[in-house]
Amino acid sequence: MKRVYLDYAATTPTHPDVLAEMQPYFFLKFGNPSSIHQFGQEAKAAIETAREKTAKLIGASADEIVFTSGGTESDNFAIEGIAFANEKKGKHIITSKIEHHAVSECCEFLAKRGFTITHIPVDKFGLVDPEDVKKTITDKTILISIMHANNEIGTIEPIAEIAGIAKEKGVYFHTDAVQTAGHIPINKLNADLISFSAHKFYGPKGIGALYIKKGTRMVSFLHGGAQEKNRRASTENVPGIVGMGKACELAQNDMAIEKETILRDKLIKGLFDQIPEIVLNGHPTLRLPNNVNISIKHIEGESILINLDLMGIAASSGSACTSGSLDPSHVLMAIGLAHEVAHGSLRLTLGKYTTDDDIIYLLETLPPIVKKLRAMSPLK
C-alpha cells in the first residue's frame, strides 16, 4: 500500500547523511568525551565540531550552545534554570496560552512552587500581541517565554518585537524554536535562550540544544559531572550530538521553504475546493511553510486519522481522543474554536520527502472519508 507521511511536525526521519555521520561514534570512536585519552579526545573533537555547526545555524557562537536530550529538556532547562537562579529578583513568569506542554507544564510545576505565571491570550489566528506582553511585565518578572512558531497551527509569533520589549525591561527572554529551527531562518532572534530538538529537522531523536546567550544568569538542570562546561551533566550522547550537528549543517544549506510553501498552499486550496464546511486554523500567511491545520465540521479527528491511516496516510489531530486527555487541544481552544470544531481538527505537515503526488493522493482520499463520517454524524 502507498504510505504517505504528512506528520513531519511530530517527527522526521533521520536523514541518511546524518546517520552516516553518526555511525563511527557507536563502535569505532566510542570514547567518553571527558576522558583524557585518545578515545575520549576524538569524541570530544567530534562534539565540538557539531557544536560549531549547531551554533552556525542560528548565528551564535559555539560556547553558547549546550546539548540536551531534546526540546522538552531545553524548555525545562531554560525555564527552571532562569527561575531558580533569579527568584530573589522575583517570581513572575510570562508565557502564552498556546505554548507547547514542555513550556506550560514546566510553568505549572513552578506555579506549585510559589511562582506566578501569566498566560498571554492570542487572537483568532494564534498571534500574541507584543503590547499585551509589555503591559504584563512587573518589577517581579524574571522571564518571558513565547514560542517562535506554534506546533499545531503553525502561526509564527512576532518574536523580534517581544524580545525587544524584554530587553528594554531587563527581563530574560526564551523562545521555543523547536518547530522553526532548520525550517526557517533563525538569527538568535534577540533572545537569551532558544530551544531546539534535532528530530524535528531530520536529526536523530533524543538530542536537542539550548542556546544560552553569554552572561545569562541561570542554574543547570541536570546536576552531576562537569560536562558542557558545567552547564549540563551526563556523559554526552556523542552520536546524537554529531547527528544534530550534521542535521544543522544540512538544514542550513537546504531549507525547502519555497517548495514547501507551494505544496502547502496547493493543499489548502485543494481542501477548500473539495470539502465544504471546513476552516483553516492559524494565520493565513504568518505561518510555517509546512503546516496545514483545518477543522472539518461535524466529525471528529481521531476517526479521520484512523481512516486516513488505513489508506496509508499519516496525519495528526488536536482532538482529545488522540492525546489520551478529555479536552481538545488548548491551542485550538485559545484561538476560540467551539469544542466540536476543535475536536474535528486535522493537521497535515509536509517535509523534505513530500511530493505533489502525496498531496494529490490526500486530496483524493480525504473527501470520501469526510463524507462517510459526516453521514454517521448527529451534528449538522
Site residues (vs ligand PLP, CB under 6 A): 70-72, 75, 100, 102, 147, 151, 176, 178-179, 197, 199, 208, 234-235
**Phi and psi at residue 15, to the nearest 5°:** -60, 140
Mark out the alpha helices in 112-253 (DSSP H runs).
130-136, 159-169, 227-230, 238-253
Cβ atoms of 107 and 95 within 8 Å: the answer is yes
Helix (H) or strand (E) holding 332: helix 330-334
Binding of another protein by 31 (CB under 8 A): no
Judged by beta carbon, residue 215 or residue 378, the one nearer another protein is 378
315 near 345, Cβ under 8 Å?
Answer: no
Full DSSP string of 55-110? HHHTT--GGGEEEESSHHHHHHHHHHHHHHHHTTT--EEEEETT--HHHHHHHHHH
Cell numbers linked to 5: 507521511
Closer to ligand PLP by Cβ: residue 21 or 75: 75
Instruction: Indicate which of a second copy, another protein, ligand PLP, none lies near residue 276 (CB less than 5 to 8 Å, by partner kind).
Output: none
380 binds another protein (CB under 8 A): yes
Question: Distance between CA atoms of 144 and 136, rounded to whole angstroms?
Answer: 10
Q: Which does 176 bind (CB under 5 to 8 A by kind): a second copy, another protein, ligand PLP, none?
A: ligand PLP
User: 321 an active-site residue?
Assistant: yes
Give buried/exposed letters for 107-122 (b at 16+ CB in 10 A, else e). beebeeeebebbbbeb
| CB of 100 vs ligand PLP, minimal distance in Å | 3
**Contact (Cβ atoms closer than 8 angstroms) between residue 25 and residue 242:** yes
The reply on whether position 162 binds another protein by CB under 8 A is no
Q: Choose from another protein, ligand PLP, a second copy, none: what does 151 bind? Cβ within 5-8 Å by kind.
A: ligand PLP
Closest-CA residue to 193 (of 225, 218, 156): 218
What strands, in cross-sheet order, belong to the sheet with 291-296?
Answer: 278-280, 291-296, 345-349
Return the one option of ligand PLP, a second copy, another protein, none that residue 378 interacts with (CB less than 5 to 8 A, by type): another protein
Report the nearest approach of ligand PLP to the CB of residue 167 (Å): 23
Cell of 30: 566510542
Q: Would you give the binding string for another protein spanning residues 322-361, x where CB under 8 A is met?
A: --x-xxx---------xxx--x------------------
Draw the binding track, 206-245, toward another protein (x: CB under 8 A; -: no contact). ----------------------------------------
φ and ψ at residue 195, rounded to 5 degrees: -100, 140
CB nearer to a second copy: give 47 or 137: 47
Is 355 an interacting residue with respect to a second copy (CB under 8 A)? no
How far apart are alpha carbons 62 and 127 in whole angstroms?
A: 32
Number of residues that bind another protein (CB under 8 A): 33
Residues in 67-86 at the binding interface with a second copy, rule: CB under 8 A: 69-73, 75-76, 84
Nearer Cβ to a second copy (84/361): 84
Binding site for another protein (CB under 8 A): 36-38, 41-42, 45, 298-303, 306-307, 309-310, 319-321, 324, 326-328, 338-340, 343, 375-380
Q: Cite the active site residues.
A: 321
